[in-house]
Amino acid sequence: MCNYTKCTYENVPDSDYCIFHLKDDEKDIVEFNSQINQIIDSDGKINFNGFYFPPGTGNFESAIFKGEVDFKFANFCGDITDFTRTRFCQNVNFTSAKFQKVDFSNAKFCKDAVFLKVEFLENANFNFTKFSGNVGFQDAKFKKANFKDSKFLKNAAFQNTEFNEVDFSDVTFDGKMVLITEKSPIIHLDRATFSNDVRIRAGLQNCSFYGSNIERVDLTSCGWTSDEEKEIKILEHKNNLGYGKLVEIYRLLRQSRQRYGDHFTAGEFFYQ
C-alpha cells in the first residue's frame, strides 16, 4: 500500500508509493494518464491530494468534474497544465498546489474554489473564466496572472497575495472583493466593473484604472507616486493618455477617497 497519508492505492513495484504519489518523471505516463481519466469520469468526490503530475500529464482540457475535487498539495511539473474550458460542478480545492505555467481560460467554477497558498511559478491564465461561487487566492504567489474578461459572481479574496503583474482588465466583480498585497505590482484595472464592496490595499504606483468605476473601491491605505509638489501621479501619465481621460480618472479617484472618508488625500488627486 502507498505510504502517502490516507492513500488507498497500491504502491508500484520497488517503491513505497503509488503511481500517483511517486515523484518520478520517468514513471509510466501512459498508465498514469489512463488512470487519471478514469478518476475524472467518476461521479463522486475526486481525490488528487498530493498527486505528482510529471511532464506529459496535466491535460484537463474540457474535462467535467461532477463531484468535489481535492487538488491539495498536488505538484504539476509539466511545462503547462491545461484546464481550458474545464467545468468544476462542485467545490474544488487547490490549497498548496504548485504549478509551472497553467491555463484556466474559459473554465467554469460552479461552486467555491480555493487557491490558498498556491505557487504559480510561471504565467497563470484565468482569462474569460467564470467563478460562480466564492473564490480565495489568499497567500498565493503569482509571477504573472491574467484574469482578463473574467467574472466573479460572488466573493473574491486576494489577501496577502503576491504578484509581479496581474491583469484584471474588463473583469466583473459582482460580490465582495478584497485585494491586499505588500508589494507594488503592475496591476491592470482598465474597464473593470466593481460592486460596492471592494477594498484594495497595495502600492498603486504601477496601476492603471482607465474605464473602470474605481470610485466605488475603498483605496485607503494604498501607496501612490507623488511629484515634487506632492501631487499624486498615476500610471496613465506614462501611457500618454489624453488630457480629458486623465482628468476623468483623477476625478473618480478623488471620489473614492471622499466616499471612504479620506478627505485629506482626496485633495491631492487633481490633474492640470
Per-residue pLDDT of the chain (272 residues; tens, 9 = 90+): 999 999 999 999 999 999 999 999 999 999 999 999 999 998 899 999 999 999 999 999 999 999 999 999 999 999 999 999 999 999 999 999 999 999 999 999 999 999 999 999 999 999 999 999 999 999 999 999 999 999 999 999 999 999 999 999 999 999 999 999 988 889 999 999 999 999 999 988 888 888 999 999 998 888 776 554 444 455 554 555 665 677 777 778 888 878 877 655 545 544 44
User: Residue 154's closest CA among 95, 211, 100, 111?
Assistant: 111
The DSSP 8-state label assigned to residue 10 in this structure reads P
User: Where are the domains positioned within the chain?
Assistant: 45-266
CB 235 within 8 A of CB 205: yes
Measured between alpha carbons, how far is 107 from 126 in angstroms, rounded to an integer? 8
C-alpha cell recorded at residue 188: 491592470
- 127, 108 contact by CB (below 8 A): no
CA-CA distance, 77 to 27, in Å (whole number)? 13
Bridge partners (DSSP) of residue 232 are 226
Rg (CA), the chain: 22
* Separation between Cα atoms, residue 191 and residue 228, nearest integer Å: 30
